[in-house]
Structure 1
Amino acid sequence: MSATHPAPEQISMYAFPDDDDRQFAFTLARGLEILRCFLPGEVALGNKDFVERTGLSKATVSRLAYTLSELGYLRHDEAARNYRLGGGVLSMGYPLLASMRIRQIARPFMRELARQVRGSVSLGMRDQSNMVYIESCPRDQRIHALPDVGAVRPILRTAMGRAWLAAVTPQEREVALNRIRIAVPDQWQRYEAQVGQALHDYHQGGVCFSYGDLHKNGYAVATPLCTQVDAEMLVFNCAVAAQSAQGRRLIDDIAPRLVAMVSNVEIAAGLK
């Protein structure tokens, strides 16, 4: 069982379509929601955790967890009577990462910018109401990059997420925001104004900001690639420690450096 119960906004829930959508496989979707219950730092969860976090019945959770363990996506610990993520989850994601050539192309540019601004530079893509990191470079290569590849962060609370919203088409943006309004209404109520400001900032300067919205000691600026890659809008993010003059520095110094870095990545990748 999990030692602590996470805040509701930390759990990524799907906004399922209406029951009359014949193309939607609800059983498959519910099984995937079981896998999404795990959060960073949680080694094992029990059926009670799955029930609380998904709203599914005990019988449904028991059946889904058993099936997922038989397929290798969960591992059942009979002694502890709980489940751990299995190797099938990791192997399923690797082909996606390996196919993203942009990660290898961008990495040296990201490392250099991280060194220059004494911060971290990351690349991410959207996953439901979150952004998921697919590459991350810290300022010091001797220090393990945080957040790591695969980490998820809420769209509304991050510069990366706001830049994604600003870069996609109005139709894509509205679909994403509708899902967010349903899945995490508390986040929408709290950060709706910041999203509006982010859209304004992006149209004015091509970047979006976050001033301590995710971590009070961290500021960030983000900008997307000029075009989609493999049908995905990818966004670069540069985060630095918050200091008294850091907000002005983001606008005057770091934001132009990030935009220039992304332009160099686009050229190297043949995107423009």
Structure 2
Amino acid sequence: MKRTSSIPLSPASVPVPASVHASVPDADADTLPPCAGALADAARDDRNFVTALARGLDLLRAFGPHDDYLGNAELARRAGIPRPTVSRLTYTLTSLGYLIYSESLEKYRLGQGAMVLGQRYLAGSRIREIARPLMQSLAFATDCTVALATADRHEMVYLEVCQPRGALVMRLAPGSRLPTATSAIGRAWLAGLEAPRRAAAIADLEQFYGSRWAPLRAKLERALRDYGRRGFCVAHAEWDRTVSGAAAPVVLEGGAEVLAINIGGAATRLAPEILDGNLGPRIRELADALQGRLWQGHG
């Protein structure tokens, strides 16, 4: 993908957690529904947009990585959907196998239908099959963790993780989540988007973070400028003060699908000069190689 000297951040110019499993620092789960955002609101203005279908998918996405069972009231709060509508949607999704209902708890958990969709995506794209050998080679060569991720609203979700031979420096696994705005891999994903999609995603992040957005925006602007100059983004002890990394986007299907890949480890070992002069260029090279192989695999 051609890199420009500067990537605009503003829609007008375009037409740290306690553990590594925490998702968005300082996010208030009681006031920030994970499934409501500017991106969805814009889509709902499209007359071809099927709101009922979108709301059903929003309910499935309301389940977090550590959730087991959720009731209609909690689903309504998280998704920002009226409770009577949620009741009809959960009934339908249960009938189709996407949710499982516990009569004793009067709550729902994700069903096999949701799992099958994820498995079919991974199998159909051959992403992990193609990426893993390249990622593992770099992990061994650098003694760092290498991971491939996709985006889910305000977070990045790991699809594959390759660890070095030594002790695990980052205890992350497929399914782990990192905040998009403050992680290198999230910033790289934003950098890889076409301008209109990036503007919409950033507007969604701004709505999500509210009053906390201004300092995050300044760092994101700098990261996007850095990507324009050198082809990778970095985050030194930001989303987690013990972790640092560098990342680059993997753009597929002419920009229709964008993933991101990162390399990282302990912040005490990976000083900014190591990220900038060594690991950043290496993850950029890996992203370019992976992009080419995945493009061939899709063709």
TM-score tier by shorter-chain length is 0.7 to 0.9
Contact 1:156 1:188 in 2 (8 A): no
Change over 3 Å in CA distance of 1:94–1:215 after alignment to 2: same
Structure 2-normalised TM-score?
A: 0.78
Q: 1:235 aligns with which of 253, 260, 277?
A: 260
Q: Indicate yes or no: 2:146 matched with 1:125.
A: no
Larger CA deviation: 12-21 vs 45-54: 12-21
Task: Supply the AA of the counterpart residue of 1:11.
Answer: P
Q: Indicate yes or no: 2:240 matched with 1:215.
A: yes
Find the aligned partners of 1:112 and 1:119 in 2 and give their Cα distance: 10
Change over 3 Å in CA distance of 1:12–1:60 after alignment to 2: closer
Task: Supply the AA of the counterpart residue of 1:120.
Answer: T
Q: Indicate yes or no: 2:48 matched with 1:23.
A: yes
Contact 2:242 2:266 in 1 (8 A): yes
Which digits, 9 at most, give the CA deviation of each residue in 1:78-102, with x for residues without a partner?
A: 0111111101000012121112234
- 1:248 matched residue in structure 2: 273
- 1:73 matched residue in structure 2: 98
Q: Which structure has more RCO (C-alpha within 8 Å, separation ≥ 6)?
A: 2
Find the aligned partners of 1:236 and 1:20 in 2 and give their Cα distance: 33
Mark the runs of 5 or more structure 2 residues left unpaired by the alignment: 1-27
Larger CA deviation: 129-138 vs 5-14: 5-14
Find the aligned partners of 2:50 and 2:265 in 1 and give their Cα distance: 42
- 1:13 matched residue in structure 2: 36
Find the aligned partners of 1:209 and 1:26 in 2 and give their Cα distance: 37
Mark the runs of 5 or more structure 1 residues left unpaired by the alignment: none
Contact 1:156 1:187 in 2 (8 A): no
Q: 2:81 aligns with which of 56, 62, 72?
A: 56
- 2:70 matched residue in structure 1: 45
- 1:136 matched residue in structure 2: 161
Which digits, 9 at most, give the CA deviation of each residue in 1:217-253, with x for residues without a partner?
A: 111100123x424731222111211106622221122
Larger CA deviation: 113-122 vs 18-27: 18-27
Find the aligned partners of 2:29 and 2:252 in 1 and give their Cα distance: 34
Count of matched residue positions in the alignment of Structure 1 and Structure 2: 266
Task: Supply the AA of the counterpart residue of 1:259.
Answer: R
Task: Supply the AA of the counterpart residue of 1:105.
Answer: I
Find the aligned partners of 1:249 and 1:19 in 2 and give their Cα distance: 45
Find the aligned partners of 1:245 and 1:17 in 2 and give their Cα distance: 40
**Structure 1 runs (4+) greater than 6 angstroms displaced:** none
What is the percentage of aligned positions where both structures have the same residue?
A: 33
Find the aligned partners of 2:269 and 2:171 in 1 and give their Cα distance: 23
- SS of alignment partner, residue 233 of structure 1: strand
- 1:177 matched residue in structure 2: 202
Larger CA deviation: 237-246 vs 190-199: 237-246
- 1:154 matched residue in structure 2: 179
